[in-house]
Amino acid sequence: MAAVNPAVFLLTVNGQIEGANFPEYDNLYCKYCYVYGHDWTPTSGLEEGITQITSKGSMSNKLIWNFPLETTFKSTSPSGWPQLVVSVYGPDVFGNDVVRGYGATHIPITPGQHSRTIPMFVPEPTWRLQKFTSWLLGRRPEYTDPKVVAQGEGRGVTRVRSQGFVTASFHIITKDMKKLGYDTGPSTTQPYSTDWSAD
């Protein structure tokens, strides 16, 4: 197994979508998927998932999903590093299932434990009457694809409103990255070495 000259490196993402903080909404669930570049292939684990519906406790203001993430990617180059895309849905006043937020974050590149708070946002209706009717009919604007939030192209034409936060924790393990010349690990030499970019 221990190849002397590996051709690919592996990135194992363990972790969980811990929960969310949407002060105004309740009974939400979350969908997640990964967006990655051409050189990446998921080798094991779920690429997409959908959580249970969670409602807030009487004491807490936080939604807890604790939805596990376990995916291993393999890749040949760091370009197109995987991003976790989460989208949160839940019922509105009239019981229609509407989107409550989109968000994305890169999978942390350094091995170890990380916690990420992902700010969420939703597209805004183009004008006010639209806003009203979309509220009334429960058909709010959505992205054609949640993966849009992981890419930069074309975002300039949209307008969004910020909604809340989703927290996710990651435990990252990488394999063979150093052998392929990518050093992402924290440097262990001098305390001053935060400024060391290359060695």
Which of 10-18, 45-53, 104-112, 130-138 is the region at the interface with other proteins (rule: CB under 8 A)?
130-138
Q: How far is the CB of 173 from other proteins (least distance, A)?
A: 18
Q: Is 130 in the site for other proteins (CB under 8 A)?
A: yes
Stretch that binds other proteins, among 13-21, 47-55, 74-82, 86-94 (CB under 8 A): 74-82
Find the binder of other proteins among 12, 75, 83, 105 (CB under 8 A). 75
Nearest to 78 by CA among 110, 103, 104, 48: 110
Shortest spacing between CB 52 and other proteins, in angstroms: 26
> What SS3 class is residue 188?
coil
Q: Which of 26, 39, 70, 92 binds other proteins (CB under 8 A)?
A: 39
Least spacing, CB of residue 14 vs other proteins, in Å: 23
**Residue of 20, 24, 72, 73 lying closest to 51 (CA atoms):** 20
Q: Is 7 in the site for other proteins (CB under 8 A)?
A: yes
Dihedral over alpha carbons 171, 174, 175, 177 (to 10 degrees): -170
Contacts of 46 (CB under 8 A, 6+ apart): 69, 70, 71
When asked if residue 161 is in the footprint of other proteins (CB under 8 A), the reply is: no
Per CB under 8 A, contacts with other proteins among 172-191 are 180, 189-191
Distance CA 146, CA 143 (A): 6
Distance CA 160, CA 149 (A): 11
Alpha carbon separation from 191 to 32, 45, 110, 184 (Å, rounded)? 38, 37, 18, 17
- d(CA 22, CA 28) in angstroms, rounded, equals 9
Please report whether residue 38 would count as binding other proteins according to CB under 8 A: yes
Contact between 59 and other proteins per CB under 8 A: no
Q: Which residues bind other proteins (CB under 8 A)?
A: 5-9, 38-41, 75-77, 79, 123, 125-127, 129-130, 133-134, 137, 139, 141-145, 147-148, 153-158, 180, 189-193, 195-199
